[in-house]
C-alpha cells in the first residue's frame, strides 16, 4: 500500500529521520539506504511517498521512500556529503599511515628508554581518539554511499595497538560495525590479544624484557 507523509526531522550526518504518516499519523523511522531512486537529501517539511515495512525488531518503518516533489525526486545532483566524504576518506587514509609510523616510533623509543609502562595510558588515549575518528569518517562515507571506504583491517589494526576502547565507543554511539558478526568476532580477538600483550608487559617476564631493552639502549 502506497502511503504519504511529511518529514518531521532529518539527521543528515547519520542518514536517518522520521516522517509523519498522513494515513496513520504515526512518526515512522526512515533511512537514506531505503531511498527508491534519486540521491537528493531530505529536509524537514519535504513530502514523501513510501511503503510501510519493519525493522529487525518488527517495528514499523517507512521503506522504499521517494520524494513527492517531482523536481526534487528527479534531481541527479550528488549530495555534497559524497564529495566531502571522498576527500575525507583519502585524508583519513594518509593520516592513519602517518599516525601508525609515529605511534611505532613512540613505542620503540619508550621501550629503549624503559618508559613504556608510564606512557602506555597516553598511547591508549591517542590510539582511541584516532580510532574513533576513523570509525566516524567511515560511517559518514557509508551514509553518503561512497565507494571508497576504509579497510576493515585498518580499523582492527588501530584497535589492536590500543585503540579498542575508542572503537567500542564508536560502535555503540555511531551504530557502526556492530551488526556484522564476523567483524565483531575479530574485534573480540583483537581485544583479547591486546589484553594478553599488556598483561605480559606488566608481568615479571615483561618487566625483565623492558629492563634488558633499557640496558641495551644505555
Q: What is the pLDDT of residues 71-113, one digit of tens each?
A: 565 554 444 444 555 567 788 888 888 998 999 899 888 888 8
Distance CA 211, CA 111 (A): 9
> Do 115 and 155 lie in a common domain?
yes
Q: Which of 31, 56, 73 is the last residue of a domain?
A: 73
| 48, 134: one domain | no
- Residues 130-152 as b/e (b if ≥16 CB within 10 A, e otherwise) read bbbbbbbbbbbbbbbbbeeebee
Domain count, the chain: 2
- Average pLDDT of the chain is 85
pLDDT of residue 71: 55
Q: In the prediction, which pLDDT does 78 show?
A: 47
Provide the pairing of β-strand 16-21 with 47-54. Answer: unpaired
pLDDT for 75 equals 53
pLDDT bucket at 131, cuts 50 / 70 / 90: very high
Same structural domain for residues 116 and 179? yes
Q: Specify whether 32 is located in the same domain as 131.
A: no
Q: What's the pLDDT tens digit per position in 178-193?
A: 878 899 999 999 999 9
Structural domain span for residue 103: 80-217
In this predicted structure, the answer to whether residue 142 has a pLDDT above a threshold of 60 is: yes
Inter-residue contact 33 to 61 (CB < 8 Å): no
CB atoms within 10 A of CB 110: 20
Looking at the structure, tell me whether residues 190 and 161 fall in a common domain.
yes
Across 128-133, average pLDDT: 96
Q: CATH code at 24?
A: 2.40.50.140
- Residue the block writes with cell 625483565: 208
Amino acid at each position: 500500500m502506497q502511503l504519504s507523509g511529511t518529514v518531521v526531522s532529518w539527521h543528515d550526518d547519520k542518514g536517518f529521520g522520521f516522517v509523519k504518516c498522513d494515513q496513520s499519523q504515526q512518526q515512522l523511522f526512515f533511512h537514506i539506504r531505503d531511498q527508491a531512486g534519486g540521491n537528493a537529501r531530505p529536509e524537514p517539511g519535504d513530502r514523501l511517498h513510501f511503503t510501510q515495512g519493519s525493522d529487525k525488531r518488527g517495528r514499523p518503518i517507512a521503506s522504499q521512500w521517494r520524494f513527492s516533489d517531482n523536481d526534487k525526486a528527479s534531481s541527479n545532483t550528488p549530495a555534497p556529503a559524497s564529495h566531502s566524504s571522498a576527500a575525507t576518506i583519502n585524508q583519513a587514509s594518509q593520516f592513519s599511515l602517518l599516525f601508525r609510523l609515529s605511534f611505532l616510533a613512540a613505542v620503540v623509543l619508550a621501550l629503549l628508554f624503559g618508559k613504556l609502562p608510564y606512557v602506555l595510558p597516553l598511547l591508549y588515549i591517542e590510539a582511541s581518539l584516532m580510532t574513533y575518528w576513523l570509525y566516524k569518517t567511515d560511517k559518514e562515507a557509508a551514509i553518503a554511499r561512497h565507494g571508497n571506504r576504509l579497510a576493515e583491517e585498518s580499523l582492527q589494526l588501530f584497535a589492536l595497538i590500543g585503540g579498542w576502547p575508542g572503537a567500542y565507543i564508536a560502535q555503540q554511539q555511531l551504530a557502526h560495525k556492530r551488526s556484522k558478526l564476523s567483524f565483531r568476532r575479530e574485534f573480540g580477538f583483537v581485544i583479547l590479544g591486546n589484553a594478553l600483550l599488556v598483561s605480559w608487559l606488566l608481568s615479571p617476564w615483561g618487566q625483565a624484557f623492558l629492563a634488558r631493552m633499557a640496558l641495551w639502549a644505555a
